[in-house]
Amino acid sequence: MAFGSRLFKLSILTIFFGFVSFQSLLASDTKEEGKFVPSEMINHHIQDSHSWEIFHGLSVHLPVILYSEDKGFDVFSSSNFYNEDHELVPYQGYVMEHEHILLDNGGQVLDFSITKNVFFLFINSLIVVLIFLAVAKGYKKNQGKAPSGIQSFFEPIIIYVRDEIVRPNVGVKSDKFLPYLLTLFFFIWFGNLLGLLPASANLTGNIAVTGVLALITLVITLVSSKKTFWLHIVDPLGNSMGWPKYLLYLILWPIELVGIFTKPFALTIRLFANITAGHIIILSILSLTFIFQSMAVGIASAIFAGVMNMLELFVALLQAYVFTLLSSMYIGQAVEEHH
């Protein structure tokens, strides 16, 4: 019985999310010219933008912050780039093309705008901070007692990350890195989930966001690295070969040096490509409706997109897990003592 009611709720959710995305697609992306171009619509959905479009006709214009050598700093709303007919117009010597702002004489501008992704980065950080302040408060209040409320939901997850991901992989000094790795896990998880909601930004599917996360892992790895870590890179063969080893090192040193940077690079690409690919798949399935323009295909693709959404819920957790796991392995390699 419990399973039945859960299945019922799940299917309601599936239909709901299927139709929400369905409707927003229908509203925003069928062009007046009558030709529907799936790749254009998909790019619009997964890319960053200077305004936050909740659905067609309602968008929140976010602040634009620009710096150029000629004009210095400039702050204004991105609504200035649009006229009454939602067409792009130049503003104060700036022009925007495909969400890319330039000076009208073609000069380059540094763009520090609060774009859709930055806005959702703030929201995501706020969610993580609020939830974990509440959890921390729970530990203060329930000292020596059973956890309550939101604390009892997150305690098993935190314990799981600590006992199954961080401690076995980082080693003896794991608790020093636990706060960072826990933050990483929940930040990525919530970011992935946030990206699945209708009308939200593709936060963890942005290569800059994942790049910075991987960069922090790289910096922590290098800063906390011990002698053994560098010895493995500089002198991996030890005394086993005598002088000919230096001939091998001519090949090995460049490889080891590149190896330091390919690890965070792989972390960056893995998260970015997984999340972006998930969004592209869901949107492609939904755009089948508009390619075939038939009711039956519409119903089938809505159901299938709902199923893909369920799979993405799992991928959201899995990618947070993998990122945290690999980060803790890299940190573990750096801090391990001689053996």
User: Which residues lie near another protein (CB under 8 A)?
Assistant: 164, 266, 269-270, 272-274, 277, 318, 321-322, 325-326, 329
Nearer Cβ to another protein (300/322): 322
Nearer Cβ to another protein (216/277): 277
Helices (H) and strands (E) counted in the chain, each on its own, are 10, 7
Phi-psi region of 34 (alpha: psi -120 to 50; beta: other; left: phi over 0): left
Dihedral Cα 217, 205, 166, 260, nearest 10 deg: -30
> How many other β-carbons are positioned within 10 Å of the β-carbon of residue 96?
19
Q: Which two tokens stand for residue 270?
A: 């893995």
Tell me the three state secondary structure of residue 76. Answer: strand
Min separation Cβ 288 and another protein, Å: 17
The full length of the chain comes to 339
Min separation Cβ 167 and another protein, Å: 13
Q: Nearest 5°: phi and psi at 297?
A: -65, -35
Q: Measuring CA to CA, which residue among 72, 148, 131, 133 is closest to residue 103?
A: 72
What's the rounded Cα separation, in Å, for the pair 258 and 269?
A: 16
Q: Measuring CA to CA, which residue among 182, 183, 187 is closest to residue 209?
A: 187
Q: Which two tokens stand for residue 171?
A: 């080693």
Min separation Cβ 212 and another protein, Å: 18
> How many other β-carbons are positioned within 10 Å of the β-carbon of residue 178?
18
Min separation Cβ 300 and another protein, Å: 23
Min separation Cβ 323 and another protein, Å: 9
Nearer Cβ to another protein (110/318): 318
Nearer Cβ to another protein (62/280): 280
Phi-psi region of 171 (alpha: psi -120 to 50; beta: other; left: phi over 0): left
Nearer Cβ to another protein (124/274): 274
Nearer Cβ to another protein (49/327): 327
Min separation Cβ 242 and another protein, Å: 34
Min separation Cβ 63 and another protein, Å: 29
Q: Which two tokens stand for residue 234?
A: 């500089």
